[in-house]
Structure 1
């Protein structure tokens, strides 16, 4: 059947930290079961026993919730994590060391015969719920984000996200000032990474950029006024890194008590 079943099992240890023993993988991983069934179905399909191949694939679908057409070509060390709802079409081609998560569809966009499903090069990862449609090429090492709908080629090493799928632009080195301001005020953009764009984080990052520009303009204006002989009055703005941030209710209560006020007094005064 072309490839050793042992590789299909061993690759699980590399990509799933929950995997503990070979016996556990053999008995409880539907993604591994589906791949093993497919190896047999694909061999039967190529041998001309197409009806028997379809029956075997249908049994695998019933047992695992994963539907792989016997005509699909799948490379070595292929891993389907969780697996429920995965659909792989007849003319799909998957390279070595690829990983698919649950809900992924490698589907077609037309009813015409011929190549109508995607081709995945080596080391491609497709996130949960993603749809990769049509006779397109996903380059080596590419990543498809969860719930993305990809209908165009993805270059090697690129990451595609969204509906329709779009390529993520790598983060620029010029964003250092943004990181510096965010660090001063104790904000990390919701923990968003450069490969996972978040609309809220993007909006706040734009605000940080605006603050940086305004600070530079204010500094330039103050320097110009000093040169004109205008003395600066009291009320110097403290630097951000010297500001104390109150983060708990206990700290708020201590501040109220230190000032001679309590929440109850404030409520009465109102």
Structure 2
């Protein structure tokens, strides 16, 4: 058990450059919330729902993180900073990282039956700050959810989701293969080069149109913009 705890703390230290020691990590609200959730989930599985809720409410009061006792969470789960909500039927794989103010929320079934209504996060998923992942969807392994994205559809393995409503942006293979990307979004180069290329193409078209207009003016003898301004002043 001690070895598992050390391995867990080391996994957080590998993802958080601010951590100076394992002792410091033990004070992280996300670590405390996960530890208390393990106890609450054990009580929930034993159908001691009221006791599980007491532990849940105490954890939320102490950490600002609300994890429903029914949520299933794998190994090395890290909530950085906190203020996160995780619903009852959420399922989280191994080595998942969630930043602050994230919601793994559920839908409201019209048939009145609970069922699976919260998302499933596969192994090595990263969810950026303020993201909202809603409904019984699956976020594929090694996928990244960008900050403030709103995700309501399944996310393919290795995809990076950005925007409102979130859309996928292609990520180079060398980026996808990195062990860890802070905040879930590559920041050293644009996620979407296409808009930049489009702007450059439009600027090129504008220059070509201006050249054609100048050529037509010369053929017809019509004064150009510069000559018009000069004539207006005279």
The TM-score, its normalising length taken from structure 2, stands at: 0.74
Q: Which runs of 4+ in 1 moved over 6 A?
A: none
Specify whether residues 5 and 46 from structure 1 end up closer, same or farther in structure 2 by C-alpha distance, changes over 3 A only: farther
Give, in whole Å, the separation in 2 of the partners of 1:79 and 1:170. Answer: 24
Could you tell me whether the CA contact under 8 Å between 1:140 and 1:157 is conserved in 2? yes
SS in 1 for 2:161: strand
Q: Which residue of 1 aligns with 2:114?
A: 113
Q: Which runs of 5+ in 2 are unaligned?
A: 173-186, 213-234
Distance in 2 between the 1:146 and 1:132 partners?
11
CA distance in structure 2 between the partners assigned to 1:8 and 1:51 by the alignment:
29
Q: What residue in structure 2 maps to residue 32 of structure 1? A: 31
| Contact residue 141 and residue 157 of structure 2 kept, 8 A | yes
Secondary structure in 1 aligned to 2:23?
A: helix
Tell me the residue number matched to 1:93: 91
Structure 1 residue 63 and structure 2 residue 62: aligned?
A: yes
The 2-side partners of 1:5 and 1:192 are apart by 33
Equivalent residue for 1:11? 11
Do 2:73 and 2:93's aligned partners in 1 also have CA atoms closer than 8 Å? Answer: yes
Which protein is bigger by CA-based radius of gyration?
1
Match of 2:100 among 99, 102, 114: 102
CA displacement at 1:212 relative to structure 2: 5.6
Q: Distance in 2 between matches of 1:135 and 1:69?
A: 16
Distance 2:88 2:7 in 1: 23
CA–CA distance in 2 between the matches of 1:116 and 1:151? 11
Counterpart for residue 187 of structure 1: none
Deviation at 1:168? 1.1
1-structure distance, mates of 2:202, 2:86: 47
* Cα contact 1:11–1:77 (8 A) shared by 2: yes
Separation of aligned partners in 2, 1:80 and 1:207: 39
Contact between 2:123 and 2:141, CA under 8 Å: does it hold in 1?
yes
**TM-score, with length taken from structure 1:** 0.65
Task: Give the 3 Å change call, closer, same or farther, for CA 170–4 of structure 1 in structure 2.
Answer: closer
How many equivalent pairs are there?
192
CA contact (8 A) 1:8 1:79 kept: no
Matched, 1:193 2:189: yes
Cα distance change, pair 88–10 in 1 and its aligned pair in 2 (3 A): same
What is the 5 A alignment of 1:147-162? Answer: 147-162=148-163
Structure 1 residues not aligned, in runs of 5+: 172-190, 222-270
Q: Give a deviation string over 1:195-234, Cα, whole Å, max 9, x none.
A: 2x59xx93x543323456788x79xx9xxxxxxxxxxxxx
User: Which residue is 1:251 aligned to?
Assistant: none
> What's the counterpart of residue 167 of structure 1?
168
1:206 corresponds to 2:198 = yes
Deviation at 1:23, TM superposition (A): 1.1
In structure 1, what is the Cα distance between the partners aligned to 2:197 and 2:36?
49
Once the two structures are superposed, what CA deviation does each residue of 1:42-78 show, in whole Å capped at 9, x if it has no partner? 1111122211111001100000000000100000000
